[in-house]
């Protein structure tokens, strides 16, 4: 497995986990409130949502990244041309 593919898979796994974890918690809380069985219901929703989120991130991250680059180049040519600088003054 190439390093680029390994990075893409790990990024997709971590991003989908974080988003699923937070979004299922939020939506479960909005729909259920803080009931005694909130955590088991939330975790069930998370386990159900994570595979779909993983597939979505895996498929949509590359075109979204390309769209981001296109928009940056179109509306702020200098913003997309160079990597972001560290604004905290620490050297890399």
Number of domains in the chain: 1
| Any domain includes 38 | yes
| Any domain includes 17 | yes
| Any domain includes 85 | no
What is the spatial distance between Cα 8 and Cα 16, in angstroms, rounded to a whole number? 12
Q: Spell out, as residue ranges, where the chain has pLDDT lower than 70.
A: 77-92
What is the spatial distance between Cα 10 and Cα 16, in angstroms, rounded to a whole number? 10
Model-level pTM?
Answer: 0.67
- For 53-73, the pLDDT digits (tens) are 999 999 999 999 999 999 999
| Tokens 């003054």 belong to residue | 89
| Any domain includes 91 | no
| Any domain includes 83 | no
The two tokens of residue 70 are 């296109």
Enclosing domain of residue 53: 3-77
What is the spatial distance between Cα 10 and Cα 15, in angstroms, rounded to a whole number? 8
| Any domain includes 25 | yes
């Amino acid at each position: 497995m190439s390093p680029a593919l390994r990075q893409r898979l790990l990024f997709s796994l971590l991003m989908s986990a974080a988003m699923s974890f937070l979004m299922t918690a939020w939506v479960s809380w909005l729909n259920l409130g803080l009931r005694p069985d909130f955590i088991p219901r939330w975790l069930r929703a998370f386990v159900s949502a994570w595979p779909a989120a993983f597939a979505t991130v895996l498929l949509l991250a590359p075109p979204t990244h390309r769209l981001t680059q296109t928009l940056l180049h179109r509306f702020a040519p200098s913003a997309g041309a160079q990597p972001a600088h560290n604004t905290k003054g620490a050297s890399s």
